[in-house]
Copies of this chain bind each other. A is one copy, B any other.
Amino acid sequence: MSQHKGKQTIEFKNPPTIFETASIVGKKEGEGPLSKYFDRILEDEYLGEKSWERAESRLQKDTAELAMQKARITDSNIDYILAGDLINQCVGANYAMRDFDSSFFGLYGACSTMTESLTLGSIIIGGGFGEKALCITSSHFCTAEKQFRFPLEYGGQRTPTSQWTVTGSGCAILTAHGEGPYITHTTTGRIVDMGICDANNMGAAMAPAAADTLTAHFNDTGRTPDDYDLIMTGDLGVVGSDILIELMLKNGYDIFGKHKDAGKLIFDLDSQDVHAGGSGCGCCGSVFCGYIFKELKKRKLNNILIMATGALMNTMTVQQGDSIPGIAHAVAISTSI
């Protein structure tokens, strides 16, 4: 039996197990509705470091170490690390991972990085090329704000459609042998650009990519929304989620009752002043590795689809008037195979 179903989807003959996860988030995220699911909530968002960039690297390193500690392994047991973040040249991941004794693949998928890393990790493990892979992403409100928007001290006014970059990191360790939850399918996104130019409305830029990947997933597998307990995107926020639901209806799939978005779950949108919700690689990362993984382990969730979404522009392409390409990668997870 071939493992590729349709052009974008893989069905694994040997589905990797998500053996263990870890999540660490900032103070604001720790005050949100998912508070009790995170492994650690930061009191000092500098993590004792002297710059925001070093703080984000430390956050990602600490999260990786915590995941290994929970899995009772060390980096000498990890064959491959797949990591990325939002900072220029991915230095959040690069500096975090330099102390580990594992082969390293640096990824850039903007906020889609969590499922990009889970997909490539699954391909490595599912293909028999390694025993254990560590998949990790992070984002930090302060590194992102400083790099993509305004100096923090400036206190710029935010538009209603803007999202709030999550300070957080999520890490998942995949193993070739285990008792699940299993990654059974991946549907890897194409780049979709519908001409949205507003960098303060990322949800709208990413929703068409999410609809493209989700439709491909259903077409390739013959599945429908009914096959899932949960379809979680990350991070379309309020605006992008509404657009996704509408686009999917046009494509013949009603996901309304099954869809949730990590950017809407992580904050209390009424009281936490985050406008359209959370964003950043660390949003989907920490919500999946914190909340969702624990619900899978408790069998409160059994069949889910996680689809992180990314906006693939930078500040210069926006300034040059280019539109914002989006991408989304879906990973199907089941507690039984």
Residues of A within 8 A of B (CB): 2-4, 7-8, 10, 50-51, 53-54, 79-80, 84, 86-91, 94-95, 97-98, 100-110, 116, 119-120, 123-124, 126-131, 188-193, 312-317, 320, 322, 325, 327
Contacts and interface: CB of A to CB of B under 8 A. Distances in A.
B128 A191 contact: no
Contacts of A2: 128
Contacts of A188: 80, 103-105
Given A54-B320, A106-B312, 15 more contacts: A2-B128, A7-B103, A80-B188, A88-B316, A89-B314, A94-B313, A94-B325, A98-B312, A101-B190, A105-B107, A106-B108, A106-B109, A107-B107, A120-B120, A126-B127
A105 B107 CA distance: 8
Contacts of A320: 50-51, 53-54
Contacts of A98: 191-193, 312, 325
A30 to B, nearest CB: 27
Contact of A91 (B80, B89, B131, B313): B313
A98 B314 CA distance: 15
B128 A3 contact: yes
A312 B189 contact: no
B108 A191 contact: no
A129 B314 contact: no
A129 B127 contact: yes
18 contacts: A4-B128, A50-B320, A51-B320, A84-B108, A88-B88, A89-B108, A89-B110, A89-B313, A91-B317, A95-B312, A95-B322, A102-B190, A103-B190, A104-B191, A105-B107, A106-B312, A106-B327, A126-B129
A316 B92 CA distance: 11
A51 B321 CA distance: 11
A249 to B, nearest CB: 24
A190 B94 CA distance: 10
Nearest to A49: B320
